[in-house]
Structure 1
Amino acid sequence: GPSDLFARARALPEAARVLRLETDSGFAGGQWFALMLLAMFSVVFLPRQFQMLVVENVDERHLKRAVWVFPLYMLAINLFVLPIALAGLLHFGPGRVNAETFILSLPLAQGTPVLALVAFVGGLSAATGMVIVEAIAISTMVCNDLVMPWLLRTRRFGAAAQRDLSRVLRPIRRGVIVALLMLGYLYFRLAGEAYALVSIGLISFAAVAQFAPALLAGMYWKGGTRAGAIAGLTAGFAFWTYTLLLPSIAKSGWLADSFLHHGPLGIGLLKPEQWLGLTGLDGLTHSLFWSLLANVGMLVGVSLWRAPSARETSQALLFVDVFERTATAGHDPVFWRGRAKVGDLLATVGRFLGRDAAQRLFADYASRTGAAGIDKIRPDAQLVQFAETQLAGAIGSVSARAVVASVVEEETLAIDDVMRIVDEASQLRAYSHALEEKSLSLERASAELRAANEQLKSLDRLKDDFMSSVTHELRTPLTSIRALAELMLDDAQMPSEQRQEFLAIVVTETERLTRLVNQVLDMAKIESGHAEWHNSDIDLRELLTQTVQTTREMFRERGTEIVLQMPPSVPLLRADHDRLTQVMLNLLGNAAKFVPHVGGRVEVRLAVDDQGATVEVQDNGAGVAPELQPAVFERFRQGVDERSRTQGTGLGLPISRRIVEHFGGRMWLRQEPGQGACFGFTLPWRGAS
């Protein structure tokens, strides 16, 4: 019985070591953990397992039963594995018979060929079934995820072609199955003689385990990205190939032994089974350690280095929180908004599944949803999901999504809908960084466009004012000069006194034209940075005295009193004498224009402190209207409305301000009710030579 079998096995050293996790038995704790990890991953990620558990599972409730039935089934079929292995070791001895044939060798050795035949037929059936399911699963994956996306991007088979692809899918899958079986046989011929069947299976298990980090991260981590998954898979499969697949081929004699024992190019640290000098592990555990370490490291590192896109963020929310969303998704299809036509979806499904099969599927859907017929089906999100599900079984979820999207007019989700997808506790985090940046960029561009538009409008108004002002200022003296010249030309007998008077007026008007042109040129030079500056040491007392004396006659003719108030002495100032004189003449000329004709008074005040000198020109005129004060220093503005416009171009104050600012000062307007306008400027001290 079993007790006697285990008792005899403990007496056999080779069998006793297998029953204990000891280092010298070749089956230590590290290898045991690696095998358990591989088995756990393989239950879900092997193609045949994934095909049965996920792809062909039409009802999620089946998983609740499979959670306990499948482990129980695995336990049941493995109850007899250990007794058969121990019986084979006890009967044949270690190494005499291939352990994989114990189930056939033991009945034959005991003279029961019928039992051996039954075991052979059962094993052949199980192996055949596994090969069939595995081949179908892999061919489906290759067809759906590699071949079909490529075909759908071609002109011949794309959405615009409207060709029936149901007859194309079967030959493609058959070809993939044949190629898959041939590749399996080729690997068996290359490495099968050096490895047992179980060892070959473990190599494939280690390859399948590379899908685990990306798949598990997609289900439980919202920060994972597509780039991170691809980087992890690439690194993992690269290490698996180098540390496990190539050594299996080398042990079969297809690669030099030096590759295994000395590493490529004799570099010991690059030995495939002792990478970077890591020893003490069997080949499988060693490969699994490095491949998963590289896989997880690249997945996490690249995902953290590169922020997820808007689509990756939304997909992560839907997959990670799938159970929270499932309860409301059926009643409130917030995940999809758009318009679809039943006829278009029916024709699309018929392209890949056949027209008759599509008719049957849609008729069944109509009966389940309570529609009177296919033409009465409501074209909503549920129908779109149904069409995608049917197509996913034939061409894969990615291709199905693309094909359905080509015939469905999707609408952009409103922000309220997006917020309903996002967790209440992480609403700000759910916003797409790409959308935020684009929105901010559009806002900035819109603001810049509005500012540029306002600036253009302002420049257009200034241009009109300038043309009006300059035209008026040019026409007036030109008209006067022309009239006087014509009078002198027509009257050859004109008295010399009158002729001299007319010539004096012509000279005055010519000087006026010269000042106008000079002001326009000065403004252009100052703004373009091409103005010439001749700095020297200036005594402001002397400069103000000269400018007041220059304009005193003008004020006397207008009946205006001008008063100069200055301290006894002031430090020298480093500046351009002519430019500052121009500033003072502009300010005094402005004051002369706006003082009253009777009782006019202008005060020029100079004050100094440690920071610099301050000059003010105060008049007792009407002042500047409050609504015009902000624009008084702008070009072509005169501080008065159009009805009371005086002679001038409106360039005097802007030029004066530019000159003052050139020397580091500032100019201002200050006025109090009933006291006229006070224009002033401050200049900081400059080092005098």
Structure 2
Amino acid sequence: MLSTWSLITTALAYMGLLFAIAWIGDRKRIARDHRNIQAVIYSLSLAVYCTSWTFYGAVGSAATTGWGYLPIYLGPALLMLFGFDLLRRIATISHHQRITSIADFIAHRYDRSHSIAVLVTLAAVIGSVPYIALQFKGITNGFNVVAGSVTNDAALPGELSLYVALTLALFAILFGTRTLDASEHHRGLMWAIAFESLVKLLAFLAIGLFVIFGIFGGFGEVAATVRENQNYQELFSPWRLPEGFGIQLVLAMTAILCLPRQFHVAIVEFRDIRELKTARWLFPSYLAVFAILAMPIALAGLVQFGGQDVHPDSYVLALPIAFDKEALTVLAFLGGFSAASGMVIVATVALAIMVSNDIVMPLLLRSGMAGVRGETDLSRTLLRVRRISIVAISLLAYAYYQAIEAGVPLASIGLLSFSAAAQFAPAMLIGLYWPGANRAGALSGLTVGVGGWFVLLLLPSLAGSEATGLPDVAFNQGAAWSLALNALAVVVVSLMFSEDTVRRRKAEREEPDAGLITLGELENTLGRFLGRDSTRRALETHLHSNHLEADALATPATVQFGERLLAGSIGSASARSVLTTALHHRGLGPEAVFELLNQTSQAVQFNRELLQATLDNMSQGVAVIDKDLRLVGWNQSYLELMNYPDGMVYLGQPVEELIRHNATRGLIRGGTSEAAVRKRLDLLRGGDPYRFERSWPDGSVIEIQGNPLPGGGYVTTFSNITHFKTIASELKLINETLEQRVRQRTQELSEANADLEEARKTAESANRSKTRFLAAASHDLLQPINAARLFVSILRQQAGEGGDEEARLVKRVDRSLTAAEELLGALLDISKLDSGMYEPDPEVIEVSELFEQLRRRFQPLAANRDLQLRVRGRKDQVFSDRNLLYRILQNFLSNAIRYTESGGVLLSCQRRGDHLRFRVSDTGVGIAEDDSRAIFQEFHRLDYAHRLEEKGLGLGLAICDRIAHMLGHRMEVRSRPGHGSTFSVTVPLASRERIEAQRPKDAPRSDHPRLQGLAVLCIDNEADILEGMNLLLDRWGCTVLLAQDREQAVQRVKEHGPPGMVLVDHHLSQQVFGLDVMAYLEELLGKRLPTIVITADRSPELEEEVRRMKYGLLRKPIKPAALRALMTNTLKNR
């Protein structure tokens, strides 16, 4: 087990590495000219969102609430995927206005309100302190778990947490407060945060893979573990979402924007739209890794430590410790350390900027220390304020950490801070999209929301209430109520003080008055906050790039540039205050007032001329009326379209006059009636949008569309759509003609389909006839071959006593019969499979037994060809039809041995989830890519097969393909000419229920009865068959009784008594069947007779009937060895 000091040394070394990375990033700037690399760094820096809560607490939450951890990952991912336009809009505005923080952004949207900025800053600090304390708790817990045993609650010395806080504060000071310009990108800091994101990702991924494949043995085992335990099934049921899932999802979505550290990395550090596009898919993918792996890790912790005193938040560290994985333990510890330290560093930097800009700077302005006439350089003072703020916030979080209870879960503290940050969302989003939102509404909403959060959520946590435990109904309701009341207050108060809206819009557009301040005074004012040299260089660059003269007075563009430059350092609200104060100290005399008014008049006139020029260049007619229904604006297209007499239209004209004039010209539906005029006026007074089309007497069609203005009145557009209507009429005529042609073509296609259907039915009928013919003719086809097989068997026994030439001839005859049997059998099998007559009989199959059968069958064949047959099985069970699966593998092995001249053949299997893949690989001639599909067609053989001694029929793989398709098994082939081939078939594993349900068969008895002296009654209508059976059974020492029909069989029984066994052919004649004869004989004798039915009929119905009567079944053509084995087994089981 690792010691405490070894962990401390590791952590210090890791911090040293972070210092080095940040130092290199600040100086080398490698990624500046590599936008793709910078986009990846930006995306990884967003992962500062994944703190010790997501690294440790998400697993703990999964172990206690099931899917309760998902909202923290799902919320940001949804916002990145579907809220991309929102993020782009906020980033673009902030980049242009040099926004420095979330407080600066919200204040800027509401008249640069200092009150809003201060309230947001205080709420952010208070809400973030518990979150920063959570990181100290995560680091300390990590030390405690790794340094001691997994169940040891002995904490490390309290001073260690203080040292961690101070070390992280030092890092934030060195790389987060190097310059005063907060909008300047902190490359080194972002490099370090991106590296930490990689470390925690690799650590969590390593733990997850270890759990899934090292502890469980794969995803299938994870799912099986859940299925086998009722508690786990309920905990991780996909239909069971914990209470408060929805509100936590909303909190997580707002957190990605409203948490100060997330706003800093996502918005303040934003450079280019490419970064957001990359982060749109990379950051959700990053979160998906954590979301997927948290559940297996939690499950492993529950299985491993169930009933033990191990906190779920420590499972990430406890699992590698429990399995003595020291390297993995160190990696997990560094991952948790990275998750916590990255958050602390960025959060303290972001909060320090907010405190210095929105609290300290306004105090300096009011106290006079930042007066315009002062000469003191305040840039160093503000930097010291930020550094002191970092230390103070860290110590405040450390104090909160000391105050909270040790057993409080990490997730609950995180949700507490999330709910605080969410209170910024209503003012931010409503102000962004609703023009009616104003300063009073935003301030009211923030006050109500933050106050509700403070009373309902924060105070209980400080008092040690259960509200800091797992999110329960009280916590979720408190968060939901505070957020809802916040949004409601923004809307209601904004409506109550709507006059403030105009003032806010004006404030957003206005620029500090120029022409009253010299460039020297502007440079002096800016230099006190930005530094003299930096200010001088920035102003010189601005004047040069905009082709401005360095005259005595500053231009409006220069003053606006100075304001944005100052806003990047002290915030937009403080920047406006500083410049306003500077202009105020200049004073305004009569001439200055006249000049200012003249400039304003010229600006208004210019804007009006620009607007009129824009309207006159529009092809649509535009008319604007005010709330009193008087004409206040129009363009030339409107006059031309309406064809008003010259001088009729004038500014302020009542629109009623124009409506009556148009009615007299027949341009208004309803004629000149008073009702038609009143209807149109009522429509305008109603304030609702409208759109309609009118056909005028000259044949033109006009589209009229009106939209109400916010302050009352309408803007109406008139579009001549005559040309479009003409085209639409022509298209309608073409469409009607086209419909007629479509109907005609549809009729032709219907007739063609009817012909095709008839042809299909004819083909199916022919196929069924072929199948019936093959099935019916199988008996007659196989009878002579069966007889020949019996005679050849006898000849082979006699050939051993004759010469070599006679033995060779008998061997060739036997080989020819074998080929004929295989050909007929294959044809019948294909016919049977194509006709759908075969019904699979799936069962649980022991893979080891199946492989042993195949090994015994093919080991001698491989040895005869000097090939090595290797078998690598598994102790698994699959669910399939035993005979059909054996048939597939038998064909694979037969082909492999046949087409392999040297080397060997491998029969193996491997698990693929809940399936088992059987593979047969060889070192044979291989198969060309063009033949990889053709080999599954009937009678297709490879072109180079003629070089081999043995040749296949070209039907085996076609049968295998049909069998696999019928069983639902996937069959594949991979091969290269000259490099061998691999054939595989994938079969489902047998479920535990099926294995338990299938009863094991009784062990065979050990006795082996002999056939010597056994009386065997052979019944067959073919004399040749009877003669062959007589010769064969006589050599086995049996007493043979022969009969060609039922009468002869009865006669033999009466003469010799009941036989010891009956071999009966099923098809004795067209009307007589072997089963009927056996039923008659058994009824005559009053006892059951050991019976074997010999037939060429392969129908399932016959097989089922034979099984029901408990007879043996042997298909023609019979092989002596198979017959003898079946007879022996029949006697043993009698």
Return the TM-score normalized by structure 1.
0.50
**Bigger Rg, structure 1 or 2:** 1
- The alignment's TM-score, normalised by the length of structure 2, stands at 0.31
